[in-house]
Amino acid sequence: MTKFRLHYFNARGYAEVTRDMFHMAGVEFEDVRYELEDWIKEGSTTKDKMPFGQMPVLEVDGEMIPQSTTIARFVANHLGFAGQTATEKAWADAFADLYKDFLIDMKPWGMIAFGYPGAAGDRDELKKTVLDPAREKYFKLLTKRIEKSKSGFLLDSGICYTDLMFFETTTSMIGFESGFLGTDFPVVTAYFKRIGEHPKFKPYLETRPVQPK
């Protein structure tokens, strides 16, 4: 049996989508969590053990795999959350790239909202000029795709890893900007509700640690 160990901080962040899929598939894995203080303290060698000096890292039978999207895609393919056909897999990957585009677009606001050291700017102004336009672009594209989907998710065959990416990020965004989801994109609102109520996902959502991000 393949042995999985997922290395990440004691937070949801970039590892949570992978945790979601392991729980949804009922596959055992070791959830190795690190406190930020231990990661950055002088003399710590933990960072040096990671392939790229960062986390998350997925250890598969001792082989260390870095990068959050690569990890999520690997696990999705292994567990059946990456689409059923080559075309569906391509669309899942395309939406993973769209997800990364959104993170880049909203980053100036996020740096302030999430309290990154050295970040500068007015949060309210950046919401208007950065976050709101990114949100509108992101939600319009999601709406267009969901309206033509036979399953109510991004892929006709059902929920995939990129659905979980959008869900997790939006859930975190609401924690920092309560009106982020809003009511002006009802298709997207219903979509996120559908993900949260997925029978394989809901049990984990109801029992996982409550964390802001």
Report pLDDT digits (tens) over 115-129.
888 888 999 999 999
Write down the pLDDT at residue 212: 54
Tens-digit pLDDT profile for residues 173-200:
998 999 999 999 999 999 999 999 999 9
Residue 16, pLDDT score = 97
The pLDDT score that the predictor gives to residue 36 is: 87
Q: How many domains does the chain have?
A: 2
Query: Does residue 211 register a pLDDT over 70?
Result: no
Considering only residues 37 and 140, tell me which one the structure prediction assigns the higher pLDDT: 140
Lowest-pLDDT range, 37-51, 88-102, 132-146?
Answer: 37-51
The answer to whether residues 19 and 98 belong to one domain is no
Asked, for residue 212, whether it belongs to a domain, the answer is no
How confident is the model at residue 213, as a pLDDT? 59
Task: Give me the helix-helix angle, 68-79 and 161-176, nearest 10°.
Answer: 130
Q: Does the pLDDT value for residue 94 go beyond 80?
A: yes
| Segment 72-90 mean pLDDT | 98
pLDDT for res 180: 94
Residue 139 lies in a domain: yes
Residue numbers of the domain that contains 11: 4-80
Mean pLDDT lowest among 5-14, 89-98, 109-118, 149-158? 109-118
What is the structure's pLDDT at 37?
Answer: 87
Whether 208 is covered by a domain: the verdict is: no
Q: Which phi-psi region, left, alpha or beta, contains residue 121 (left: φ > 0; alpha: ψ -120 to 50)? A: left
Q: What is the CATH number of the domain that holds 59?
A: 3.40.30.10
What digits encode the pLDDT tens for the residues 120-167?
899 999 999 999 999 999 999 999 999 999 999 999 999 999 999 999
Could you tell me what percent of the chain has a pLDDT over 90? 86
Burial of residue 125, with CB atoms counted within 10 A of its CB: 0-12 exposed, 13-18 middle, 19 or more buried: exposed
Give the dihedral sign, CA 90/94/100/103: negative
In a domain, 170, yes or no: yes
Please determine, for residue 18, whether its predicted confidence score (pLDDT) is greater than 80: yes
Global pTM reads 0.94
Amino acid at 95: F
> Does residue 62 sit in the same domain as residue 140?
no
